[in-house]
Amino acid sequence: MKGYSQFCPVAKGAEIFNERWTPLIIREMMCGSKRFNELKHGNPMMSPSLLSQRLKFLEAAGVVEKKVHKGESAEYFLTKSGKDLGEVVVRLGLWGLKWARSRLTREDYDPQLLMWDMRRRIDSSGFPQRRVVISFMFEDMPSNRRAYWLIVDNGEVDLCVKFPGFDVDLAFVTTSKSMADVWMGYSTLKREIRKKNLTLRGGRDLKNSIDDWFSYSLFSNPEELRESLS
Amino acid sequence: MKGYSQFCPVAKGAEIFNERWTPLIIREMMCGSKRFNELKHGNPMMSPSLLSQRLKFLEAAGVVEKKVHKGESAEYFLTKSGKDLGEVVVRLGLWGLKWARSRLTREDYDPQLLMWDMRRRIDSSGFPQRRVVISFMFEDMPSNRRAYWLIVDNGEVDLCVKFPGFDVDLAFVTTSKSMADVWMGYSTLKREIRKKNLTLRGGRDLKNSIDDWFSYSLFSNPEELRESLS
DNA sequence: CGGTATCCCCCGCGATACTG
DNA sequence: CAGTATCGCGGGGGATACCG
């Protein structure tokens, strides 16, 4: 992006921050993504070449640091500058949560993104000490993005887009909007169940302990999040 | 700009905030600009058609409100949502102040922008009760943007780009970088004078009272600015 | 898995002119 | 002063293929 030719620090900040995808890359890193493909999963619509380009730019800008361990995969970290910029990203998100909800379109409710975020934040310690399989069925989606499975085993959480073959312990049957609204804190599980937008099928024990393991978006508790910022 | 197809509030916020020029328009409004041409002066490199387009977009997004008084010029205001977004703009500016200073290029030091900002923030109440003319000479600039005059009279501050004909009470002779660095708080008047980057010629009384009327950028005192945010 | 290389389209935006 | 209309280009970025 061409610069603004202004010495104003807002302009200089915007020259970095306003590059397309940049806030979303930083959001991913704030949420713990380190590897190239993790960042890509968090932004599935972004082409790998563009991600590569942005990471190089952010590295040159002193926002991101690339660490290459011999024999291992490279990892990307936020520098101190990057973490500071991450706080701006979070504040933009808080603004969006409060003021841009009405701009959400049907296209925005991408279940793949939702599942990727759930996979990341789910609390595996709240599960019984055995393999647990939870399925999600989004009835409004075409068949190729309708079904997902979370497999929690030994503290690890895996996301599958094809039936993994294991018995399903608990099944969510819902729509992408209902599930995302619950995830964001716009609605609650109870409300969506009552409105018949969401059905839970299966293991009574998992249902009863759902508050122990079901997780919500980073933005589902704005007050707490805001207080965590300096 | 095309959307991100993500329900994440960061993405929805970025779809508005990341439009080119948008943070700078909001910055201008946070600084008190209301009229079309005020906004244009604050962003002289922006074409009027693009400014018009952005204002319409921001109005549709609920960030800006246009008020048309009969017979008078239209005025633009930030809504509550817009003021909230303005806080994000300020925080981005604070980030830029701290972390993006090294990215400043020669092109960024535009004296016209500097003068426009000085005109806005100068404290006219600190001046004697007569017309005062202060000239600024930027020796590194080509002749067409080398000289500016601030005329303070009866509480009004005018900016001239041509010699107004009045006697000059005080003359700044300096470079665009030195003046802007003082303005931003990166340097001080004393330091630039000592380093022979800045000379004050003229009225001893105005020199002695300079702390009463000389003003600095909104960002020159980051701690105070940060505390003013919620 | 972790990226590069390439191609090409499209539209954002800069420039300029013009109008009430 | 307060915008609108038009035009043309540049390059950003989407898509896809490919490589180590």
How many Å apart are B2 CA and D9 C1'?
20
A6 closest CB neighbour out of B6, B94, B108: B108
Question: pLDDT tens across A132-167, in order?
Answer: 999 999 999 998 889 999 999 988 899 999 999 999
pTM (2 d.p.): 0.96
Question: What is the rounded average pLDDT of the residues A173-195?
Answer: 97
Closest listed residue to residue A110, CA positions, set A159, A134, A145? A145
More confident residue, B203 or B190: B190
Q: What pLDDT does residue B188 have?
A: 97
**Measured torsion, CA atoms of residues B95, B97, B100, B101, in degrees rounded to the nearest 10:** -170
Structure tokens at A81: 């500058």
- Does the beta carbon of B92 lie under 8 angstroms from any beta carbon of chain A? yes
The values of phi and psi at residue B197, to 5°, are -90, -5
The string over B146-170, giving b where at least 16 C-beta atoms fall within 10 Å of a residue's C-beta and e elsewhere, is ebbbbbbeeeebebbeeeeeeebbb
Q: What pLDDT does residue A128 have?
A: 86
Q: What pLDDT does residue A144 have?
A: 85
**What residues form DSSP beta bridges with B200?**
B172
Q: What pLDDT does residue B131 have?
A: 93
- Does the beta carbon of A24 lie under 8 angstroms from any beta carbon of chain B? yes
Angstrom CA distances, A199 to A193, B73, B107, B140, stand at 6, 57, 60, 71
- Answer whether residue B71 shows pLDDT above 90: no
The values of phi and psi at residue A43, to 5°, are -135, 70
Structure tokens at B13: 């916020």
Per the CB < 8 A criterion, the answer to whether B7 and A109 are in contact is yes
- Does the beta carbon of B225 lie under 8 angstroms from any beta carbon of chain A? no
Q: What pLDDT does residue B47 have?
A: 96
Check whether residue B195 has its CB closer than 7 Å to nucleic acid strand D. Answer: no
Instruction: Supply the DSSP symbol for B195.
Output: T
Domain with CATH 1.10.10.10 in chain B: 9-103
A107 closest CB neighbour out of B5, B13, B117: B5
- Does the beta carbon of B100 lie under 8 angstroms from any beta carbon of chain A? yes
Helix orientation angle between A9-17 and B80-99, rounded to the nearest 10 degrees: 90
CATH assignment, A107-219: 3.30.1050.10
DSSP calls for A139-170: TTS-GGGSEEEEEEETTEEEEESS--SSPPSE
- Does the beta carbon of A40 lie under 8 angstroms from any beta carbon of chain B? no
Check whether residue A46 has its CB closer than 7 Å to nucleic acid strand D. Answer: yes
By CA distance, what is A110's nearest residue in B?
B6
Q: What pLDDT does residue B181 have?
A: 97
- Nucleic chain C contacts, protein chain B, residues 50-89, CB cut-off 7 A: 50
Instruction: Supply the DSSP symbol for A77.
Output: E
CATH fold for the domain made of A9-103? Arc Repressor Mutant, subunit A (1.10.10)
Distance CA B217, CA B227 (A): 16
User: What is the nearest CA distance from B121 to chain A, expressed in angstroms?
Assistant: 14
Q: What pLDDT does residue A169 have?
A: 96
Structure tokens at B90: 């300020």
Q: What pLDDT does residue B74 have?
A: 94
CB-count exposure of residue A25 (10 Å: 0-12, 13-18, 19+): buried
Q: What pLDDT does residue B69 have?
A: 85
- Nucleic chain D contacts, protein chain A, residues 127-166, CB cut-off 7 A: none
How many Å apart are A40 CA and C1 C1'?
12
A13 closest CB neighbour out of B13, B21, B93: B93
User: What is the nearest CA distance from B44 to chain A, expressed in angstroms?
Assistant: 10
CB-count exposure of residue B114 (10 Å: 0-12, 13-18, 19+): buried
**What residues form DSSP beta bridges with B160?**
B149
Q: Do B10 and A96 touch (CB under 8 A)?
A: yes
Question: pLDDT tens across A24-81, in order?
Answer: 999 999 999 999 999 999 999 999 999 999 999 999 999 999 999 877 889 999 999 9
Q: Which amino acid is at B91?
A: R
Question: pLDDT tens across B197-218, in order?
Answer: 999 999 888 999 999 999 999 9
By CA distance, what is B6's nearest residue in A?
A108
When the pLDDT of each residue in chain A is averaged and rounded to a whole number, the result is: 95
How many Å apart are B48 CA and D4 C1'?
9
Q: Do B4 and A24 touch (CB under 8 A)?
A: yes
Q: What pLDDT does residue B123 have?
A: 84
- Does the beta carbon of A15 lie under 8 angstroms from any beta carbon of chain B? yes
B97 closest CB neighbour out of A9, A105, A109: A9
Pair type for strands B132-138 and B170-174: parallel
- Does the beta carbon of B226 lie under 8 angstroms from any beta carbon of chain A? no
User: What is the nearest CA distance from A71 to chain B, expressed in angstroms?
Assistant: 33
Domain with CATH 3.30.1050.10 in chain A: 107-219
The C-alpha angle with vertex A67 and arms to A63 and A68, in degrees rounded to 5, equals 150
The string over A118-127, giving b where at least 16 C-beta atoms fall within 10 Å of a residue's C-beta and e elsewhere, is bbbbbeeeeb
Closest listed residue to residue A209, CA positions, set A117, A121, A123? A123
Distance CA B13, CA B8 (A): 9
The C-alpha angle with vertex A100 and arms to A94 and A105, in degrees rounded to 5, equals 130
Chain D positions within 7 A of any protein Cβ atom are 1-6, 12-17
Question: pLDDT tens across B122-178, in order?
Answer: 988 888 889 999 999 999 999 888 999 999 998 889 999 999 999 999 999 999 999
Counting residues of chain A whose pLDDT is more than 90, the rounded percentage is 87
Phi-psi region of A144 (alpha: psi -120 to 50; beta: other; left: phi over 0): alpha
How many Å apart are A57 CA and C16 C1'?
34
Check whether residue B49 has its CB closer than 7 Å to nucleic acid strand C. Answer: yes
The C-alpha angle with vertex A227 and arms to A116 and A82, in degrees rounded to 5, equals 60
Q: How many CB atoms lie within 10 A of CB A130?
A: 9
Q: What pLDDT does residue B93 have?
A: 98
3-state secondary structure of A67: strand
When the pLDDT of each residue in chain B is averaged and rounded to a whole number, the result is: 95
Per the CB < 8 A criterion, the answer to whether A189 and A182 are in contact is yes
pLDDT bucket at A191, cuts 50 / 70 / 90: very high
Structure tokens at A114: 């939702």
